[in-house]
Amino acid sequence: MDKKDVKKLSLFAITWPIFIETFLHMTLRTADTFMLSKVSDDAVAAVGVSNQIVMFLFFLFQVGATGAAVVVAQYLGAKKYNEIRSLAWNAITFNFLFGLVISIIMICFSGFFLSFFQLEKELFDQARIFLVIVGGGLVLQALMLTLSSIIQAHGYTRDTMFVTVGMNIINIIGNYVLIFGVFGFPQLGVTGVAISTVVSQFLGLIVNFMILFKRVDIQLKFKDMIDWQKDRFYKILGVGIPTAIGQLSYSMSQIVTTGFIVVLGPELLTTRIYTLNILFFIIIFSLSLGRGTQIIVGHLIGAGEFDKAYKEGMRNLKLSMLLALGAATLIALFREQLMGIFTDNPLIVYTGATLLIMGLLLEPGRCFNIVLGQAIQAAGDARFVMMCSFIIIWGFSVPMYYLLGIHWGFGLFGIWIAFIADEWLRGLVLYRRWRSRVWEKKVLVKHEKKKIEVTG
Local confidence band at 237 (pLDDT 50, 70, 90 cut-offs):
confident
CB neighbours of 302 closer than 8 A, spacing ≥ 6? 7, 73, 74, 75, 76, 77, 78, 443, 445
What share of the chain in percent tops pLDDT 70? 90
The pairs formed by 447-456 with CB atoms below 8 angstroms and a separation of 24 or more are 447/78, 447/304, 448/304, 449/304, 449/306, 450/303, 450/304, 450/305, 450/306, 450/307, 451/306, 451/307, 452/305, 452/307, 452/308, 453/307, 454/307, 454/308, 454/311
**Between 116 and 78, residue with greater pLDDT:** 78
pLDDT digits (tens, 9 = 90+) for 329-356: 999 999 999 988 888 889 989 999 999 9
Question: What's the pLDDT tens digit per position in 190-236?
Answer: 888 889 989 999 999 999 999 999 888 877 676 766 677 778 778 88
Nearest to 366 by CA among 288, 434, 414, 419: 419
User: Would you say residue 79 has pLDDT above 90?
Assistant: no
pLDDT of residue 236: 86
* Strand (E) or helix (H) holding 260: helix 230-264
Provide mean pLDDT across the span 155-170.
92
pLDDT over 80 (residue 449): no
Q: With beta carbons less than 8 A apart as the criterion, state whether 138 and 102 touch.
A: yes
Question: Are residues 310 and 87 in contact, defined by beta-carbon separation less than 8 angstroms?
Answer: no
pLDDT reading at 423 higher than 90: yes
Asked if pLDDT for residue 259 goes beyond 70, the answer is yes
Across-strand partners of 36? none
pLDDT at 128: 87
Which pLDDT does position 254 carry in this prediction?
83
Closest CA to 332 of 371, 370, 361: 361
Is the pLDDT at 442 greater than 70, yes or no?
Answer: yes
Residue-averaged pLDDT of the chain? 86
Reported as a pLDDT band with limits 50, 70 and 90, residue 5 is: very low
pLDDT tens-digit map of 277-330: 788 888 888 989 999 999 999 999 998 999 999 999 999 999 999 999 999 999
pTM (2 decimals)?
0.84
